[in-house]
Structure 1
Amino acid sequence: MSKIKTAAKDKVPLGQKAAFGAGHLVLNLLPGALGIFMFFLLTAFGMDPVLAGLLGGLPRIFDAITDPIMGFISDNTKSKWGRRRPYIFVGAILSGVLFALLWQLDADNSQNYNFWYFLIFSMIFLVGNTMFATPLVGLGYEMTSDYNERTRLMAFSQTIGQIAWMIVPWFWVLIADEDLFATQAIGVRQLSIMVGAVCLILGVLPAIFCRGMDAANMENRKEITLKSLGANLKDLFKGIVEVSKSRPFMKLCGATFLVFNGFQLVASFSFFIIVYYMFNGDFAAAGNWPAWFSTITAVVTAFAVIPIISKIADKYGKRNAFLISTAISIIGYILKWWGFDPGNPWLMFMPIPFMAFGLGGLFTLMMSMTADVCDLDELENGMPRKEGTFGAIYWWMVKMGQALALVLQGFVLKLVGFISDAPTQTAETMTNLRIADIVIPVLTAGIAMLVMWKYSLSEERAREIKAELVARRGEL
């Protein structure tokens, strides 16, 4: 365990941690709700599956372009409210309002109208969401300069963020409940307004209460104007190149890509296994078991796994905490073979405490380690600090990997013989699907451990870097 006690000035007050956590709840709730609601484009609004697929994919390409741009703008902004907070405030309002407007579709409208309405509002929504999300991530990296307090901050925010995943699975149930909503379309429209309002209120809290580093005297920031657009683009690409040359950061990105997208690739398989293997295709009998599986996973992750991960990181270091948590998750994935038992549905919850260490440890530790990498970048490349750029590239990689996982998911289902419109699946198909459900995340998690095995930015080195930066800046 680290013998160096966190200085009082480096501790993030509980109120700021809670506000930052509220922002992370929004970061999870918006994409989670979006993913659920996309299903109802088909069933509630009669969208052609090909067009629905385009609506899911095209905005992601646009999103991948805006993230690094917003990161650069945030890094170089000069304002009396700081580099991040003005964007977070405006972005939270835009995200909440535009999410609600995005889903004010009507099944009576023509398919072309609904397609273009949704596509245009998706683009506008993603601009607002990027304005909120990218500076929020950057703000988290600079709220404290202490090695261990960074982990505690990320652990706290990730715990609150998991509340979104306790709620989101039940949107399926609510929207389809005829006692609540006369039609699914009405359910989507009304629930989207509620989600948008909650996200708006929670999203502005980090802008109001959180404090980043004092950037008043930060040198070498670029002027953000239309006249300097050409020069800014050149500096943007230069910053991306510098970030991409950071070997520790590339290891973090690689490990995250493997663990997260290995999980994402098989994320829907649990639903199929519960319905088609455990309940032989009877959706009524399967009932709320899939929703409970997701909710219990989020509860265990938030209130058991993340606090444990934070303690392990304090005692053994962040790299070792990642290796330990990922190894435990591999045990959980393997236990799924015995957990999904048609004779005893309660056994499906057995692997969860082990599996939850995968994603529970991943983002808690990786975001904390990225903050350490930002210090290293300042030491090697000077000012301005590039928390926004690091955050944008990290999450751009996550989003692109997620899109790839969704594409590969279809190929895997095809390979194992899954027939989407069949009332039941063959025993061979379900066996192959269960094997893929285990082998894929185990394989990607194992490779991620190899990637991180020689990660070099230890606590001792991180503290040396911090001391050098303090001396260079002339701080007390």
Structure 2
Amino acid sequence: MTNTTPQSIDNDDAPTEGAAMKFPDYVKYGIGMVGNQIMRDVPSSLLLFYMTNTLLISPALAGFAILVPKLWVIVADPLVGMLSDKTRGRWGPRKPYLFAGSIFSALMFVLMFTVPMPASPLLATLLIGACYLLLSTGYSLYSVPYLTLAADLGRTQRERTLALAYKHFFCLAGVVIALGIAPWLVSTFGQDKGAYGVMSAVLGMLLFVTTMTTTVLVPVRQADPNTPPMTGNLLSQMIGAFDHRPFRIVFTAATLQLLGFGVNAAMGLYFTIYIMKMPLEVAGLVATVSVVGAVVSQPLWVRLATRCGTIPAYRIATISAAISSTLILLVPAGALAPYLALGFVGGMTTCGFTMMSFSSLIEAIALDGPDSNRKALFASAYTAMEKAMLAVGGFLTAMILSLSGFIQGADAQPAQVMTTIVLANVAFPSTLKLLSLFVLARYEGRPPPARHFEAVIEAAE
């Protein structure tokens, strides 16, 4: 059994093998997050809308095409994590999977939006679903070892936290590209299937370049030969991971929040177009403004976490995000300026609970002890949950639209559809955020990692 005491993360000055990380090392690691975010956010925000409003596939069929591939990652992510932890060789335990994931995901990303569509809606749905299944597999191959690198590359908690800070900066760049540039490209080139093809070609190339840059440039970090091998099958290992209380609490809270985020991401374009009466490119503009808010607020969240600890800052960020998302109900249709202003505020609050969620995850992994042999298993369980909740959110959105009577491709929708869009985009995510606070309230008795956030302040400033 691995050590789970808080003392396992306290000695930052303990001698460890390997050279200290420097600025170029953090950049080499962080840049891969751009492509990782494109893989995640473009399908989450655009795929359902592409299927219903461009391919004219019913929301119910489109929902299943999105759900099934993402449910696969519940198995794929932990499997990749387990295989990665067990892999030995000249390229270390992570690089072989990073190589495969970078190449495969870029190809499947482009194919998903460019493959010729059959006339039958059912066959088109099956084809999109197959492409998305393959993309999800490539995403698992890359994202699981990529997240684990934050724990592998850093010799101390300070270095791991600083790596996380750089990762978050590149994450914001990926958000601008996936949620800002992607819809802008689609709108600019005509919003038809060809426009989605142009978008996928441009972003697919960027996805490949950024993920492969990290894959090639990060140093090979061999597994500690003294680390005992993992025993048991995948199911028993996953059950054992949830015996680790800090991880279990962080995992559960994030599950609630990400389910709401999944619905919000899938419903966002419908809300902008049908409720706010604004064109598609405004969604990209809001996403860009949100990222500016995130960049501005990051040092503030870091200082708050320094002062009161990760989990208290996590709670404050969660409450703030729930409030800011609800305020959108006060903005009249067509009022661009207040809509953008709330996008800026929403970016600030989302930055807070996103940063604290990942910081809590890294802290929970570190609390498993410096000799933990299941780092990638923890990371893979988290990433599997993240992807599954985004998929379930997209599926729920599709089913809600279908049951409310959504008319695919129509410029106007029935009154019950409009009400449903508002409830799903605002009330549902905010409620889940507030419920997650009850889970985080159980995370007590752990030391606040105040001094570890000093490293993040350096990056943020």
Instruction: Classify the TM-score, shorter chain.
Output: 0.7 to 0.9
Q: Aligned pair 1:370/2:380, yes or no?
A: no
Count of residues paired in the alignment: 436
Q: Call closer, same or farther: CA 1:75–1:148 in 2, change over 3 Å.
A: same
SS in 2 for 1:266: helix
* Per-residue Cα deviation, 1:48-94 (whole angstroms, up to 9, x for no partner): 65543332222123222111110001111112332112211232122
Matches within 5 A, 1:220-299: 220-221=228-229, 234-279=232-277, 286=279, 288-299=281-292
Higher relative contact order (CA 8 A, sep 6+): 2
Which of 182, 200, 211 in structure 2 is aligned with 1:192?
Answer: 200
| Alignment RMSD | 3.5
The percent of aligned pairs where both chains have the same amino acid is 19
Q: 2:98 aligns with which of 76, 88, 91?
A: 88
| 2:186 alignment counterpart | 175
Distance 1:139 1:22, change over 3 A: same
Q: Distance in 1 between matches of 2:143 and 2:226?
A: 23
C-alpha spacing 1:270/1:196, structure 2 compared with 1 (3 Å): closer
Distance 1:245 1:349, change over 3 A: same
Distance between the aligned counterparts of 1:412 and 1:201, measured in 2? 37
Partner of residue 228, structure 1:
none
Would you say the 8 A contact 1:418–1:429 is kept in 2? yes
Shift of 1:95: 1.6
Aligned partner of 1:29 in structure 2 is 38
Q: 1:307 to 1:143 in 2, by over 3 A?
A: farther
What is the match of residue 18 of structure 1? 27
For residue 249 of structure 1, report the CA deviation from its aligned partner: 0.8
Q: 1:436–1:101: structure 2 CA closer, same or farther, 3 Å change rule? A: closer
- Cα offset, 1:261, TM superposition: 2.0
Moved more, 68-77 or 105-114: 105-114
Q: Deviations over 1:156-178 (max 9, x none)?
A: 2122112222123443342344x
Q: Which residue identity does 1:275 align to in structure 2?
A: I
Structure 2 portions without partners, runs of 5+:
1-9, 452-461
**1:185-210 CA-partner distances (Å, limit 9, x unpaired):** 33333432332222121112222333
Write out aligned runs for 1:95-110 (5 A): 95-107=105-117
- Map of 2:71 onto structure 1: 61
- The corresponding residue for 2:4 is none
Structure 2 CA distance for partners of 1:429 and 1:386, relative to 1, 3 Å: same
State the structure with more CA Rg: 1
Report the counterpart of residue 376 of structure 2 in structure 1: 388
Choose 5-14 or 210-219, whichever is displaced more: 5-14
Report Cα offsets for 1:399-435 as digits up to 9, x if no partner.
Answer: 22223323433565578x6744675467787567546
Alignment of 1:44-59 (within 5 A): 44-45=54-55, 50-59=60-69
AA in 1 matched with 2:68: L
Residue 328 of structure 1 aligns with an amino acid whose one-letter code is S
Residues 64, 395 of structure 2: 8 Å contact kept = no
TM-score by length of 2: 0.81
Q: Deviations over 1:209-231 (max 9, x none)?
A: 33476524233226xxxxxxxxx
Cα offsets for 1:99-141 (capped at 9, x unmatched): 2234441246766765555444443333332111111111122
**Contact 2:25–2:218 at 8 Å: present in 1 too?**
yes
Change (3 A) 1:333 1:73: same
Q: TM-score, normalised by structure 1?
A: 0.79
